[in-house]
């Protein structure tokens, strides 16, 4: 680990300078592997089905990946606390590489599903521990800047992932789209072995955390099963059951003497708990663009498929831009950014539900961009204060907090917009008025979640915590 006695805000040039270059690139690469893989698989899915069949099982390839990554992300802090960051990262990259190789070798869809599950387990552990390295390897005043770098990695993935997948699809060799990830995994592992060392780890905590992880996985699986051929009332029942299971896991976690997450994670009255609620609700409230955005742009505004796909990335790119632009703020200015961010996101959501159904198209795209800009304005600073609020006893577990709640929020949000779209009549070949109504209601239905994200941001910003402890 690195000595941070000189705790100051590092300039971008310093993060890419001799002392921190490898660590910065390593963290960004860990996030990039997961993010690019997500977009590459979406682009290559039609080629996969044409080659090995199994169209009816294809939705489960994404569901299993997401469910397994949520479980392993949640377990990331616990694994790290028991065996150390170096070993946890080594296991994660071997799991991800093995899953990628398995997908490339898959003779059937069933084989591919198993490989995607393994890949998801590796990816979740990789993401959780990459977040944890921010606290280990960089001064506290620079943490928001590192979260901006992570946002940048997602922005790069949003632009390059579909392109990479498209290249392998054009070459008619989708398997190499996954084999190609293995040498990148080797580069990441070399960086880990060079940079990361392990501290003394905790005693093992028994089976209780495993059962709680199982409940989290079950909640993710139930919510992921919505929209796969069920009727609307069955989808709602699945979502309600998922929420009930998740609440059970949260109540059990709060009372446990062997926690998976930081001790204040599910206490909204604390800066840490408020920040975590922000991650969950802002992710839930802004997922509609990723789910239905290209569809709405194509059907309502005649945008070409490729252009529609990249138009939707405006949300990610504006998120990255804001994260980098405001990453140097500190103290009172950082708190203002935390409060302003979700308010901007709410304004973007209102603009999108007003302009996406009937235009004008430039204002609809600008509103989608404002959604992302608001997230990027607050995200890194909320994350830094969450890290600040986690004491030394929770330093290993805090890395799992943000990506776990982000993934759960995205899963529940995707289920919610699927149910709303189904209730509005978005199935088969709907006519223009139905699509316009769906474009309006999918954003309107999630607006309350952004309201709860504003409350979480306020709680995170206004409660006093030490700058670093």
How far apart are alpha carbons 120 and 98 in whole angstroms? 11
Is pLDDT at 344 greater than 60 in this prediction? yes
**Residue 233, Cβ neighbours under 10 Å: how many?**
9
Ramachandran quadrant class, 364 (left: phi over 0; alpha: psi -120 to 50; beta: rest): alpha
How far apart are alpha carbons 193 and 26 in whole angstroms? 11
Q: Report the pLDDT value the prediction gives residue 37, as an integer from 0 to 100.
A: 87
How far apart are alpha carbons 218 and 220 in whole angstroms? 5
Q: Give CA 128 to chain center in angstroms.
A: 10
CA 453 vs CA 109, 282, 343, 391: distances in Å = 39, 5, 9, 24
The CATH number of domain 263-469 is 1.20.1250.20: yes
**Residue 183, Cβ neighbours under 10 Å: how many?**
10
User: What's the length of the chain?
Assistant: 469
- Helices 21-52 and 109-137, interaxial angle, to 10°? 170
φ, ψ of residue 84 to 5 degrees: the values are 95, 155
pLDDT band with cut points at 50, 70 and 90 for residue 469: very low
* Nearest CA among 164, 146, 136 for reference residue 35: 164
Q: Is 99 helix (H, G, I), strand (E, B) or coil?
A: helix
How far apart are alpha carbons 81 and 69 in whole angstroms? 18
**Residue 234, Cβ neighbours under 10 Å: how many?**
12
Per-residue model confidence as pLDDT tens digits over 105-133: 999 999 999 999 999 999 999 999 998 89
Per-residue model confidence as pLDDT tens digits over 26-35: 999 999 998 8
Per-residue model confidence as pLDDT tens digits over 158-193: 888 878 887 888 888 899 999 999 999 999 999 999
Per-residue model confidence as pLDDT tens digits over 263-292: 889 889 999 999 999 999 999 999 988 888
pLDDT band with cut points at 50, 70 and 90 for residue 464: confident
CB contact set of 183 (below 8 Å; sequence gap of 6+): none
How far apart are alpha carbons 277 and 456 in whole angstroms? 6
Overall average pLDDT of the 57-68 stretch? 84
CA 431 vs CA 246, 292, 294: distances in Å = 37, 16, 17
Reported as half-sphere exposure (CB side, CA atoms, 13 A), residue 308 has a value of 18
CB contact set of 188 (below 8 Å; sequence gap of 6+): 26, 29, 30, 33, 93
How far apart are alpha carbons 273 and 315 in whole angstroms? 26
Stronger pLDDT, 270 or 39, i.e. the higher one: 270
CATH topology of domain 11-201: Growth Hormone; Chain: A; (1.20.1250)
* Nearest CA among 205, 210, 245 for reference residue 224: 245
∠ CA 223-46-152, rounded to 5°: 65
pTM: 0.88
Q: Report the pLDDT value the prediction gives residue 231, as an integer from 0 to 100.
A: 66
Overall average pLDDT of the 369-374 stretch? 96
């Amino acid at each position: 680990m690195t000595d941070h006695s000189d705790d100051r805000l590092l300039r971008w040039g310093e993060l890419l300078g001799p002392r921190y270059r490898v660590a910065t690139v390593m963290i960004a690469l860990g996030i990039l592997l997961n993010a690019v893989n997500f977009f590459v698989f979406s682009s290559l899915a039609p080629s996969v089905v044409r080659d090995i069949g199994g169209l009816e099982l294809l939705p489960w390839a994404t569901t299993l990946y997401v469910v397994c990554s949520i479980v392993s992300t949640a377990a990331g802090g616990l694994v790290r606390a028991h065996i150390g960051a170096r070993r946890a990262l080594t296991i994660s990259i071997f799991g991800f590489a093995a899953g990628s190789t398995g997908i490339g070798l898959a003779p059937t869809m069933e084989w591919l599903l198993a490989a995607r599950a393994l890949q998801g387990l590796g990816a979740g552990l990789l993401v959780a521990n990459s977040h944890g390295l921010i606290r280990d390897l960089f001064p506290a005043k620079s943490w928001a800047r590192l979260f901006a770098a992570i946002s940048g990695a997602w922005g790069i993935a949003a632009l390059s992932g579909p392109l990479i997948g498209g290249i392998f699809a054009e070459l008619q060799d989708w398997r190499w789209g996954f084999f190609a990830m293995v040498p990148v995994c080797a580069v990441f592992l070399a960086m880990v072995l060079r940079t990361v060392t392990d501290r003394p780890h905790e005693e093992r905590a028994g089976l209780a955390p495993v059962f709680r992880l199982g409940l989290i996985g079950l909640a993710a699986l139930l919510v992921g099963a919505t929209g796969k051929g069920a009727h609307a009332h069955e989808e709602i029942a699945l979502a309600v059951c998922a929420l009930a299971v998740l609440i059970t896991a949260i109540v059990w976690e709060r009372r446990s003497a062997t926690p998976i997450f930081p001790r204040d994670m599910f206490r909204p009255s604390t800066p840490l708990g408020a920040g975590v609620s922000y991650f969950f609700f802002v992710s839930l409230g802004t997922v509609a663009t990723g789910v239905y955005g290209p569809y709405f742009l194509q059907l309502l505004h005649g945008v070409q498929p490729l252009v529609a796909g990249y138009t939707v990335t405006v949300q990610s790119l504006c998120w990255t831009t804001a994260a980098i632009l405001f990453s140097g703020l500190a103290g009172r200015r950082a708190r203002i950014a935390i409060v302003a961010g979700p308010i901007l996101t709410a304004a973007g959501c209102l603009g999108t539900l007003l302009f996406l159904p009937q235009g004008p198209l430039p204002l609809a795209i600008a509103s989608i961009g404002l959604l992302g800009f608001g997230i990027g304005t607050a995200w890194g600073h909320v994350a830094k204060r969450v890290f600040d609020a986690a004491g030394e006893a929770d330093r290993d577990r805090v890395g799992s907090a943000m990506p776990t709640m982000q993934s759960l929020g995205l899963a529940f949000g995707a289920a919610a917009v699927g149910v709303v779209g189904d209730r509005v009549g978005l199935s088969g070949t709907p006519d223009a008025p139905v699509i316009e109504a769906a474009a309006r209601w999918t954003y309107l239905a999630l607006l309350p979640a952004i309201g709860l994200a504003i409350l979480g941001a306020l709680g995170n910003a206004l409660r006093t915590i030490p700058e670093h402890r």
